[in-house]
Amino acid sequence: MPDTGFVMPVAVEIPAPRRRGEALGAWLLTLPAAIAFVLLLLLPTLAALTMAFTDFELGTWPPHFIGFENFSELFWEDRGFRQSFANTLIYVGLVAPASVALGLSFALLIEAGTRGRAFFRAVFFLPVVSLTVAMASAWQYLLHPTIGPLNSLLRSLGIAGPAWLSSSDTVLISLAAIGVWENAGFNMVLFMAGLTAIPRELREAASVDGARSGWSRFWLVTWPLLGPTTLFVVTITLIRSIRVFDTVAVLTRGGPNRASETLLYTMYTEGFTFLRLGYSAAITLVFLAIVLMLMLLQTRVLDRRVHYG
């Protein structure tokens, strides 16, 4: 038989002691992550699940099992919770679409340009690395009703600017604008990573096939291949928008008249101001249920429409 250079693979049996040693090593490497998961995620979640069905308050012991009374109070008696729930939905409805659209627009503009890419990347990404607490003074000054630059500009145009952070009509819109400012740069970086993964040959082939304009090449090539990235960006943006807390706590503290109070801030005030930990845990479960519904929406609906090239 002629020598073809092909060597038949030979199965090598690994001794049992070696297999046991490898398994033990794998468990030892996994143990720190497993301990951290149990202590930092699983146990707190189980504790919140348990407390949500009790009347546990700091300073009173022992707590008593009350069934679904906390949830009944949430949805039928507590108008403040219903308002914070509605505020959260409005905030997410304003922030998520705008920050995704701006992030994609910034990424496309930077990738299309030939000069100053590093500069514009740094400028647009700066809000991501800036602490909201540190930027609170700047935002309070920018949105100040009398000395703020924004109202000064409006007055120069003959328009009376509102009290952005102290009026019930404008406070949520102001916080949403800050949220867009915080999220657009982060989304831009994610979209830029997705754009760099698209081969330039596909755009050139689309141009040869008749897609002469950049808009046509975007809809025919770029947008379909950005499907996985867009799905991830939308999911992350929705979750980041729902868990808004720092801007509310630093700039408005839920006011005026709870016009800017959100779910996480309500959970915080109930647990650490009014010391109603059982009631706060019930709000936590509602928040987790909303996040799980978003993840289910991603996996069952949006993921089926994404093209994985």
pLDDT at 11 over 60: no
**How is residue 18 written in tokens?**
């070696």
- Domains of the chain by residue range: 69-305
Convert the pLDDT of each residue in 137-187 to its tens digit: 888 889 888 888 988 998 888 888 888 998 899 999 999 999 999 899 899
pTM of the model: 0.84
Convert the pLDDT of each residue in 34-83 to its tens digit: 999 999 988 988 998 999 999 998 888 888 899 899 999 998 988 889 99
Q: Are 84 and 265 in contact (CB under 8 A)?
A: yes
- Domain 69-305, CATH number (from 1.10.3720.10, 1.10.3210.10, 3.40.640.10, 1.10.4080.10): 1.10.3720.10
- Mean pLDDT over 97-102 rounds to 94
C-alpha torsion angle, residues 94, 97, 100, 102 (rounded to 10): -70
pLDDT at 307 over 70: no
pLDDT of residue 38: 92
Q: What is the CA radius of gyration of the chain?
A: 26
pLDDT at 1 over 70: no
Select the more confidently predicted residue: 216 or 80. 80
Q: Cα–Cα distances in Å, from 173 out to 126, 140, 146, 250, 285?
A: 22, 14, 19, 16, 27
- The percent of residues above 90 in pLDDT, for the chain, comes to 29
pLDDT of residue 170: 92
Convert the pLDDT of each residue in 226-252 to its tens digit: 888 888 898 889 988 998 998 899 899
pLDDT at 7 over 60: no
Give phi and psi for 65, each to the nearest 5: -70, 125
